[in-house]
Structure 1
Amino acid sequence: MNILKWNFNMKVRLVAEFFFGLFFWMYLPFLAIYFAEELGKVTAGILLMCSQAVGVIANLVGGYLADTYGRKRMMVISAFIQTGGMILLTIANSPILNSPWLTFLGFAIISVTGMLYNPASSAMVADTVEDKDERNLVFAVFYTMININVVIGPIIGGILFFKARFLLFAISSVIFFMVSIMILLLIKESLPDSVRQVKEASFSNVLIKQIKNYRIIFTDKVFFLFVAAGILISQTFTQLDLLLAVYIKESIPAQTLFSLGDFTLKTNSETLFSWTIAENGLIVALFTVLITKFANKFNERFLFFASSVCYAFSMLLFGFTLSAYVIFIAMAIFTLGEILVVGNQNSFIAKIAPESQRGQYFAAAGLRWSFGRTIAPLTIPLAGLIGYKWTFILITILALIGAYLFEVMFKEMRKKSEAVHNDVKIV
């Protein structure tokens, strides 16, 4: 794929979101540890749930607004509000103030407004790239870019977050502001006027129409099963910066990874977590496009099922080992499951969504992440009640149920396809 031949919007987004994501990942993986230590596990879990619950609503609102007011406008508004949240994080961790509660508020603002950004951003790709295989690769390239950030960000953040948090947040604020300006000045609107939804006269009319639109979307049984399966499976990948972070810090002992002569490579809980997240990002960065091209040879049904099984198996490995080596193996299996569907899931949504409702379909599909992330923090206090092993077993079971729902979804798709084919023959 020749990125130089991409639509200009895609090029600008690739550059802008690279810097956005790089600094975002310098602090995101460590916030669960920070909140658990500063506020307690139960309080941290409840607060993270609340912020994500608000994000669920923001995600759905963002999809409607992206279809009504345009992709660019929602991306610009979201980017500037996230910049404000980052400035609040900086103030809350400055030399004159150290406030975990303000830190949480800043993080919540960034998380919620990020969910306004995502539906518009994904819909812009669907607007711009028509060919299915090409669209898969575009989504894969963006995902690769994100995971390059996942490699670099936690390594740098693992040092700065615990030793120079104010400096990290201050620099991040500047970067967020520059990215917001870039999006404002360079990106062009991609929503065609012919499919732009009519603006309503009042907020109540907007809300009523929005509820009706999403009700219609969820009467699509195929789409409903897709979202339901995704919410269950999201309980695996949402745990990377939640349960897995706390588990590694509390349970995995310091150990020697490699020794040759006088050289010895050792790891403790903090470095192991950073390296594990970096491993995930490195594998994705190196192999996403390659594996996506290979995966395009298989049908979506197989890929969705195989991905779910990889997620489930990796959760079992994480929960039943104290070895850093097994942690790395589990992350490799987890990452394979991630890569198998990285482009196909977004392309699947674009395929089944009407052109005039793409923003809302992507927003509703975002429930897999936003609703999944809302309930994900429950695993932190749950682990304190039933232990880490049983918590990881529960997550494994949820992933396998998700795999089953994907099977049901594709059977339903086949029924619909056969029904349409029979109707055409009758006509």
Structure 2
Amino acid sequence: MNLAALHPNLRVRIAVGFLQRLLDSMVMSFMAIYLAFEYGVAVAGVLVVTVMVLGVVGTLAGGHMSDARGRRRTLLLGETGVCLTFALMAVADSPAWHSPAIVYCGYLVNKFAASFAMPANDAMILDVTTPESRKLVYTINYWSINLALAIGALLGGFLYNGHFTLLLALAATGTVAIAAATFFLIAETRPEETEQAESGAAAEPRGSILRDFANGYRLVLQDRAFGRLLVAATLFMCIELQLINYIGVRLARDLPAQDLLSIGSWAVRVDGVEMLGILRAENTVLVVALALVAHLVLRRVPDRVRLYAGAGLFTAGYMVLAVSDTGWVLLVAALVLTVGELMDVPVRQALLADMVPAASRTRYMAVYNLNIRVALVVASLCITIGSVLPPWGMAALYGVFGLVIIWQYHAILTPSAARAELARA
């Protein structure tokens, strides 16, 4: 299969997703810094947490609406909200107004709107792909997202100081293009069984909107096989976020300055903070460079092997990052964990797509996307835990996470266990 053979909606959503991630990385990565300078670190922390909480509400609300009213309508509402709030933030940050409070309010609503649209976008990808094409589609999407995040962070880093209003204006302009693409190029993809279920429910006496909302998500949470995959995804993300949490702190505090490369009198000398930046750049560059190659090389490898080996390599790489103080060992560990990541992620996404029922796709995707929010909290707590445990203790904790991930995969992939889970769901 090639890109030309993909559903038109899918080609548009991959392109739009690239632009969305680029704009988000270009602006939103620096909002915490903006709020810290305007309100102080302590207040900024509370403000960012509030944004995260509202994002969870937006995700769940968007998941419910997309299944009830359709993907396209949900996307248009969310993307229009993102566009309007970026424009509001740009005007509020301009020298003529300069209102940090309005900028923050725009940021708050912006993240709600973006979260509101996210499950519909994920469900639309499932709607128009087949089991045979999903690994390739998720590999392309994963490659595209990482490339966008890298470019966006680079642009934002250069333009943030002194040009933040311009960044916001560029984001507003970009989201106009995104909303226009959705309006003119995207067709509705909600499955017929979803529409029939909703129309049948409409013919019966209905309870309150909140009751319908709760009942829809209650069915998702009762799906035990899905719950196992959610646990695996959450722990995987917990490990991944260690690089910017405990491992980042450890490297900045404990890694001695050392030469990574020396030729005669010339040497590349790095400290812990610089090493952290190199490791993050290495991971991003390797994902962008190897994602499509990995798909071609690994396409004949059984899913079970890819999931087990991928989770094992990924975990082992982070365990080394937790304990080593040698630059080249850290670089090799980053290579190993990236290979594990490329083996695992596309297969896990395809596995998720196969187990999600068509009638509740966006509700499932909304709950699944919460793994990132939970992982952020756990990863932050690991900084506190790391102040008590020695580095080898943190490495052992990552090892436990990795074993639980593999255990969840085994329970899902074992045919008898999978049938039992589905029967109980």
| TM-score, normalisation: structure 1 | 0.81
Write the mapping of 1:35-50 to structure 2, written as runs, cut at 5 A: 47-50=47-50
Q: Find the counterpart in structure 1 of residue 228 from structure 2.
A: 225
**Is 2:122 aligned against 1:122?**
yes
CA offset at residue 178 of structure 1?
A: 2.1
Which of residues 285, 288, 291 is equivalent to 2:288?
Answer: 285
Which of residues 413, 416, 421 is equivalent to 1:414?
Answer: 416
Distance in 1 between residues matched to 2:229 and 2:177, nearest whole Å = 36
5-14 vs 300-309, which moves further = 300-309
> What SS class does the counterpart of residue 167 from structure 2 fall into?
helix
For residues 354-405 of structure 1, what are the alpha-carbon distances to aligned partners after superposition, in whole Å with 9 as ceiling and x for unaligned? 222222222222232233335444445x268548946666455434333333
Distance in 2 between residues matched to 1:409 and 1:417, nearest whole Å = 9
Q: Find the counterpart in structure 2 of residue 360 from structure 1.
A: 363
For residues 57-76 of structure 1, what are the alpha-carbon distances to aligned partners after superposition, in whole Å with 9 as ceiling and x for unaligned? 33232222111111112122
C-alpha change, 1:111 and 1:345, in structure 2 (3 Å) is farther
C-alpha change, 1:264 and 1:51, in structure 2 (3 Å) is same
CA offset at residue 282 of structure 1?
A: 2.1
Q: Find the counterpart in structure 2 of residue 424 from structure 1.
A: none
Distance in 2 between residues matched to 1:34 and 1:321, nearest whole Å = 34
Q: Which amino acid aligns with 1:414?
A: S
Q: Which amino acid aligns with 1:309?
A: G
Q: Find the counterpart in structure 2 of residue 425 from structure 1.
A: none
Q: Which has the higher contact order (CA 8 A, sep 6+)?
A: 1
Give 5+ residue unaligned stretches, structure 2.
Answer: none
Q: Find the counterpart in structure 2 of residue 82 from structure 1.
A: 82
For residues 81-124 of structure 1, what are the alpha-carbon distances to aligned partners after superposition, in whole Å with 9 as ceiling and x for unaligned? 22344345545654467777766555444443333222211211
**Is 2:6 aligned against 1:6?**
yes
Identical pairs, percent? 23
Q: Find the counterpart in structure 2 of residue 68 from structure 1.
A: 68
C-alpha change, 1:180 and 1:65, in structure 2 (3 Å) is same
Q: Find the counterpart in structure 1 of residue 331 from structure 2.
A: 328
C-alpha change, 1:172 and 1:269, in structure 2 (3 Å) is farther
CA offset at residue 243 of structure 1?
A: 5.2
C-alpha change, 1:305 and 1:34, in structure 2 (3 Å) is farther
| TM-score, normalisation: structure 2 | 0.81
What is the CA RMSD across the aligned residues, in angstroms? 3.8
**Is 2:215 aligned against 1:212?**
yes
Q: Find the counterpart in structure 2 of residue 154 from structure 1.
A: 153
Q: Find the counterpart in structure 1 of residue 302 from structure 2.
A: 299
CA contact (8 A) 1:151 1:277 kept: no
C-alpha change, 1:103 and 1:351, in structure 2 (3 Å) is same
Q: Number of aligned residue pairs: give it.
A: 418
C-alpha change, 1:191 and 1:341, in structure 2 (3 Å) is same
Q: Which amino acid aligns with 1:80?
A: T
CA contact (8 A) 1:147 1:284 kept: yes
> What SS class does the counterpart of residue 22 from structure 2 fall into?
helix
Distance in 2 between residues matched to 1:355 and 1:8, nearest whole Å = 20
CA offset at residue 343 of structure 1?
A: 2.0
C-alpha change, 1:344 and 1:229, in structure 2 (3 Å) is same
CA contact (8 A) 1:257 1:267 kept: yes
82-91 vs 245-254, which moves further = 245-254
> What SS class does the counterpart of residue 26 from structure 1 fall into?
helix
Q: Which amino acid aligns with 2:166?
A: L
Distance in 2 between residues matched to 1:58 and 1:14, nearest whole Å = 22
Q: Find the counterpart in structure 1 of residue 176 from structure 2.
A: 177
C-alpha change, 1:218 and 1:278, in structure 2 (3 Å) is same
Q: Which amino acid aligns with 2:337?
A: F
